[in-house]
């Protein structure tokens, strides 16, 4: 179990009001991923909310894709080796950047809550910070998806829970 996890959350946009409870949800997601991965050290993660335009600029600069995306992960470690914050002793895992506009849009498209969408994006990015990659597809993508759903289910954010319709 992770000793302590410091999650620094910043809101760098004004277009969308961040609903109450989202910051706590993000912290719970970060903790849950580290626990699921048997991460036994203290850690620091930075999470930022930005606009579609801000994330488009980052996506163009760092991935060569001139389009908005939902989330970007900037791991600070490689092969399980991370720098330590000399003041706190915590391992610095990296940065997560979430387009809150894209998260709202995707929650509507997929028919689930904004909480589920932000939970998914946070868990997805935390796995990237820990070295998981789905870009090439195949077994790595399957493993990552399974881990995402397992963590989200443990947090009460199962995929199918949001599709329940009241039918009379």
Q: Is the pLDDT of residue 23 over 80?
A: yes
Order of strands across the sheet that contains 71-75: 5-11, 43-50, 91-99, 71-75
- pLDDT value at residue 167: 40
CB half-sphere exposure, 165, CA atoms < 13 A? 3
In tens, the pLDDT along 87-141 reads 999 999 999 999 999 999 999 999 999 999 999 999 999 999 999 987 777 888 8
Length of the chain: 168
Domains of the chain: 5-159 (3.40.390.30)
Sign of the torsion formed by the C-alpha atoms of 11, 16, 21 and 27:
negative
Contact 162, 113 (CB under 8 A): yes
The model's pTM: 0.90
- pLDDT value at residue 159: 67
Report how far apart, in Å, the C-alpha atoms of 127 and of each of 27, 95, 153 are. Answer: 14, 12, 15
The pLDDT-based confidence of 162 (bands split at 50, 70, 90) is very low
The pLDDT-based confidence of 48 (bands split at 50, 70, 90) is very high
Residues 93 and 128: their CA atoms lie apart, in Å, by 10
In tens, the pLDDT along 55-97 reads 999 999 999 999 999 999 999 988 888 999 999 999 999 999 9
Residues 159 and 7: their CA atoms lie apart, in Å, by 25
Q: Is the pLDDT of residue 9 over 60?
A: yes
Helix, strand, or coil (residue 18): coil
CB count in 10 Å sphere of residue 160: 9
Share of the chain above pLDDT 90, in %: 77
């Amino acid at each position: 179990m992770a000793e302590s996890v410091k999650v620094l959350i910043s809101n760098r946009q004004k277009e969308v009001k961040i609903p109450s409870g989202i910051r706590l949800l993000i912290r719970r997601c970060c903790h849950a991923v580290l626990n699921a991965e048997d991460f036994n050290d203290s850690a620091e993660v930075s999470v930022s909310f930005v606009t579609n335009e801000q994330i488009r600029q980052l996506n163009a600069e760092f991935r060569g894709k001139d389009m908005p995306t939902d989330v970007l992960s900037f791991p600070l470690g490689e092969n399980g080796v991370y720098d330590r914050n000399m003041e706190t002793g915590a391992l610095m895992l990296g940065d997560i950047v979430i387009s809150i506009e894209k998260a709202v849009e995707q929650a509507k498209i997929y028919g689930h809550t904004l909480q589920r969408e932000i939970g998914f994006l946070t868990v997805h990015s935390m796995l990237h910070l820990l070295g998981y990659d789905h870009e090439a597809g195949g077994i790595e993508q399957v493993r990552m998806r399974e881990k995402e759903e397992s963590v989200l289910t443990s947090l009460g954010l199962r995929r199918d829970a949001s599709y329940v319709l009241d039918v009379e």
